[in-house]
Amino acid sequence: MFNPCILCNASCCKDYLISVTSFDIQRIIKKTRRMFEEIATLESLNLLNFDNDTILECYERNLRYDYILALKSHPCIFLEKNKCKIHKFAPLVCKLYPHNFAGKIAKRTRCPCASEFFFKLKGPDSDLEKYKKQVLEYKKIVAKWNKKKGEKEECVNFLLNRTNAKLQSF
């Protein structure tokens, strides 16, 4: 199967903040046996425009700060010699890119191979539908967290514990 990414210097893995779900993180922790703190972070939202349903609201002295869950990025912690070390179980955003969630090539993408032709040659990814369902579950977990109005320090454990419970019930 042809992989268009072999033609590229992995600019997407270097330039972007890699936003993930807690399901991506649990899978990567399990497969790599690394700790959350080594691979991921809660990134301040600042001016970045992400899906509102994945914004994590954390409180400190009654002030609200917004974060998103992300791999350690710029470049991504799993990029080595322009190749992804976790290709088989990479996060959903990586499996989708340069397509968006709706399956369209993302506007203003910097991917040099962003043509349907190249990515059709890549063939289907059997995990994609499962990961997309996990996004919906992740959004429910985020909504529960936001209701709680908790502090940032508790947030990661909350996400990972809820995700584990959900994975066990699948």
Residues in contact with ligand SF4 by CB under 6 A are: 4-5, 8, 10-13, 18, 76, 78-79, 84, 86, 90-91, 94, 97-98, 111-113
- CB of 88: closest distance to ligand SF4 in angstroms? 10
Using CA atoms, how far apart are residues 8 and 169, in angstroms rounded to an integer? 40
Q: Which residue lies nearer to ligand SF4 by CB, 86 or 135? A: 86
> Which parts of 15-170 are beta strand (E)?
40-44, 56-60, 63-71, 79-80, 83-84
112 upstream amide cis, omega within 30 of 0:
no
Q: Which residue lies nearer to ligand SF4 by CB, 94 or 135? A: 94
- Residue burial 12-40, b: 16+ Cβ < 10 Å; e: rest: bbeebbbbbbbbbbbbbbeeeeeebeebb
- CB of 10: closest distance to ligand SF4 in angstroms? 4
Q: Which residue lies nearer to ligand SF4 by CB, 4 or 163? A: 4
Q: Which residue lies nearer to ligand SF4 by CB, 11 or 164? A: 11
In this structure, the strands spanning 63-71 and 83-84 are: unpaired
- CB of 102: closest distance to ligand SF4 in angstroms? 17
- CB of 59: closest distance to ligand SF4 in angstroms? 30
